[in-house]
């Protein structure tokens, strides 16, 4: 007879269970430290500490957690839900600071891989320095600091020479005071948000002493009383600059020039009103770029040559996305045909805005200046309030000297006259066009009769490429 697994009766199962629990056998606590540490790693920092009350076996396990998230908001939320109201008599902010002290200063000798610290309230510079120093001593790899606004902190010197640090993010709405000696030997990701650079030399040292940096993000940063800054990082692959219009309106930042030399940069996200003069130099390896030039904030005519400077700086890009403000900024540049650079490597162009009839001249120029362009995408469709076909009619009279587009995509397609004018132009003049994909908007998709009429019109348009297929989705 084959071996069989005999399942105990439900009564026997119940008795066995009673015996186990009656004997007080704690199966989880009998696991190895490595397994228990792994279990704790799935808990929040607060819940990890709460495990200390389970038994003596668990009392100090939390002191070895490697991913520490100290967020005042989640801490206070947990306190409000706590049934024990006794500790609520203490000031919440002070209780949180004591909580941070306990977590960091009682940590055992093991490494801290990640420390996220979000403070919303007064804290002394010495106390903050002690916390950061603990993280550095424990070989922190990722440090994320969100500090109270409008408060001056002197960050500890040991932070700026930390050999283990791979990722450093700093949100601090105040001036950054960095030491004279800085060297981030292992840092690969650096992100600054809302802080202000005010000293040429220390800022220069900061960006010059990250020998393996691959990703840099500067969001809403100020450049006060600075003349020239050179960011030369040969290893940089990803750069994000989101300029703060409020800072750039100040008189003492208008003369600031930031020169960026990143020959191995692959991805660029650039948002600015160009009141601060950014020089994008030697971006020979750039693949992806998103350019958003804040048109409404460009109040001075001398800003517009900088628009062309940005475009020339990214002329080697392969895939380019431009915003509506960027197109409007280009429109205001005098002699745009002569000034516009040639994008020799660009294969993809995405318009991250609703296309207007006034954009047609710029589009013609871009088509002529992009000899390798294969994919053209109007990601937001056409402006629904633009009913002026005059500019599009003029466009039909001017044929670009070169149009290499193979794929065209249009979103929010409604079959309006201005859209049909443009599609007629493109089908006639894009001799290499292979596919046209039209994503219909709600008005067209819900009107079957109109949809059939549009499809018939599209089929009747003359085509420069007989192999082109049109798909209405």
Percent of the chain scoring above 70 in pLDDT: 76
DSSP, res 9:
P
Which residues on adjacent β-strands are paired with residue 169? 144, 191
Which residues on adjacent β-strands are paired with residue 261? 232, 281
pLDDT grade for 434, boundaries at 50, 70 and 90: very high
pLDDT grade for 2, boundaries at 50, 70 and 90: very low
Higher local confidence (pLDDT), 227 or 53: 227
Q: What pLDDT, on the 0 to 100 scale, is given for residue 189? A: 98
CA distance 92 to 79: 9
CA distance 66 to 113: 5
Q: What pLDDT, on the 0 to 100 scale, is given for residue 344? A: 94
Q: Answer yes or no: are the C-beta atoms of 136 and 156 closer than 8 Å.
A: yes
Summarize the confidence of residues 225-234 as an average pLDDT: 88
Q: Which two tokens stand for residue 312?
A: 């020339």
Summarize the confidence of residues 217-239 as an average pLDDT: 90
Q: What pLDDT, on the 0 to 100 scale, is given for residue 10? A: 43
pLDDT grade for 19, boundaries at 50, 70 and 90: very low
**Mean pLDDT in the chain?**
81
The yes-or-no verdict on residue 391 having pLDDT over 50 is: yes
Which residues on adjacent β-strands are paired with residue 196? 175, 222
Question: Model pTM greater than 0.85?
Answer: no
Q: What pLDDT, on the 0 to 100 scale, is given for residue 178? A: 86
The yes-or-no verdict on residue 121 having pLDDT over 90 is: no
Say which range, 50-54, 137-141, 219-223, 291-295, has the weakest mean pLDDT.
Answer: 50-54
Residue 245 makes CB contacts below 8 A (sequence gap 6+) with 273, 275, 294, 297
The yes-or-no verdict on residue 138 having pLDDT over 80 is: yes
The yes-or-no verdict on residue 142 having pLDDT over 90 is: yes
Say which range, 7-16, 159-168, 418-427, 454-463, has the weakest mean pLDDT.
Answer: 7-16
Q: Which residue's structure tokens are 């001593």?
A: 137
Task: Find the helix or strand (DSSP H, E) in which 279 lies.
Answer: strand 277-281
Say which range, 131-140, 265-274, 279-288, 394-403, has the weakest mean pLDDT.
Answer: 394-403
Q: In what order do the strands lie in the sheet with 228-232?
A: 228-232, 257-261, 277-281
Higher local confidence (pLDDT), 29 or 434: 434
The yes-or-no verdict on residue 386 having pLDDT over 90 is: no
pLDDT grade for 140, boundaries at 50, 70 and 90: very high
Q: What pLDDT, on the 0 to 100 scale, is given for residue 7? A: 37
CA distance 55 to 41: 18
The yes-or-no verdict on residue 341 having pLDDT over 70 is: yes
Q: What pLDDT, on the 0 to 100 scale, is given for residue 169? A: 97
User: Phi and psi at residue 370, in whole multiples of 5°?
Assistant: -130, 80
CB count within 10 Å of CB 291 equals: 25
Q: What pLDDT, on the 0 to 100 scale, is given for residue 115? A: 94
CB count within 10 Å of CB 55 equals: 11
């Amino acid at each position: 007879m084959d071996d069989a697994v005999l399942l105990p009766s439900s009564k026997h199962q119940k008795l066995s269970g009673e015996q186990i629990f009656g004997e007080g056998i704690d199966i989880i606590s009998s696991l190895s430290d490595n397994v228990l540490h792994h279990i704790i790693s799935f808990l929040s920092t607060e819940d990890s500490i709460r495990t200390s009350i389970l038994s003596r076996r668990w009392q100090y396990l939390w002191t070895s957690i490697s991913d520490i998230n100290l967020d005042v908001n989640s801490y206070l939320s947990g306190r409000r839900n706590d049934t024990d109201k006794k500790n609520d008599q203490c000031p919440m902010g002070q209780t949180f600071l004591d909580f941070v002290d306990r977590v960091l200063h009682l940590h055992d000798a093991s490494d801290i891989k990640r420390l996220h610290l979000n403070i919303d309230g007064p804290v002394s510079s010495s106390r903050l320095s002690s916390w950061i120093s603990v993280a550095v001593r424990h070989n922190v790899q990722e440090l994320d600091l969100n500090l109270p606004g409008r408060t001056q902190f002197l960050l500890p010197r040991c932070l700026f020479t930390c050999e283990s640090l791979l990722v450093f993010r700093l949100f601090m709405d105040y001036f950054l005071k960095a030491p004279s000696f800085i060297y981030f030997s292992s840092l690969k990701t650096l992100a600054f948000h809302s802080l202000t650079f005010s000293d040429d030399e220390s800022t220069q040292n900061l960006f010059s002493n990250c020998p393996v940096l691959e990703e840099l993000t500067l969001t809403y940063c100020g450049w006060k009383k600075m003349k020239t800054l050179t960011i030369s990082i040969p290893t940089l692959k990803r750069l994000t600059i989101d300029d703060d219009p409020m800072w750039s309106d100040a008189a003492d930042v208008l003369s600031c020039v930031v020169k960026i030399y990143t020959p191995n940069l692959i991805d660029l996200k650039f948002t600015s009103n160009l009141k601060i003069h950014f020089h994008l130099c030697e971006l020979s390896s750039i693949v992806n770029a998103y350019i958003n030039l804040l048109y409404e904030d460009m109040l001075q005519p001398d800003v517009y040559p900088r628009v062309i400077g940005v475009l020339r700086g990214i002329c080697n890009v392969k895939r380019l996305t431009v915003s509506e403000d960027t197109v409007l900024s280009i429109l205001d540049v005098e002699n745009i045909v002569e000034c516009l650079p040639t994008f020799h490597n660009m294969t993809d162009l995405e318009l991250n805005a609703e296309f207007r009839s006034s954009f047609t001249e710029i589009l013609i120029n871009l088509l002529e200046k992009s000899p390798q362009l294969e994919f053209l995408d109007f990601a937001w469709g056409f402006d629904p309030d633009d009913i002026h076909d005059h500019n599009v009619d003029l466009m039909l009279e001017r044929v670009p000297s070169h149009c290499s587009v193979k794929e065209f995509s249009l979103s929010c397609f409604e079959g309006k006259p201005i859209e049909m004018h443009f599609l007629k132009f493109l089908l006639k003049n894009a001799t290499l066009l292979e596919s046209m994909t039209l994503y219909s908007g709600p008005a067209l998709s819900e009107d079957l009769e109109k949809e059939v009429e549009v499809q018939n019109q599209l089929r009747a348009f003359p085509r420069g490429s007989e192999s082109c297929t049109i798909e209405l989705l």
